Amino acid sequence: MTGTTKWSKTYRGKQAVIDELFTPLFARFADRYTATATRFIADDDVVAVEFRGKVTTKTGEPYHNTYCSIYRFADGKIREITEYCDTALIAAVL
């Protein structure tokens, strides 16, 4: 995850993403996080997905961010994800 927020770093492996990112992040949400994809662009083994996420935090603040994630595939599996988003919003709300 790009940027300089407390969530920004390289997560290695599926379990690290779940344990170090999703579990503590989703614990801050008051309701269900939803993400809606708005665009897909594919080139060889790389797929870019633009999407919008929406949720309310337990402190009552809305967290509505726009993302672009770049997925690299190999052997039918996701091997790398790079995510771009509004890091100022992350720092302010999360």
Could you state, in order of their start, the residue ranges of all structural domains in the chain? Answer: 14-93
Q: What are the respective helix, strand and coil percentages of the chain, to the nearest 5?
A: 20, 50, 30
Range 1-20 average pLDDT: 93
pLDDT in tens, 38-92: 999 999 999 999 999 999 999 999 999 999 999 999 999 999 999 999 999 999 9
Asked if residues 82 and 3 have their Cβ atoms less than 8 Å apart, the reply is no
Domain at 14-93: CATH code: 3.10.450.50
pTM of the model: 0.86
Query: In this structure, what DSSP letter does residue 92 have?
Result: H
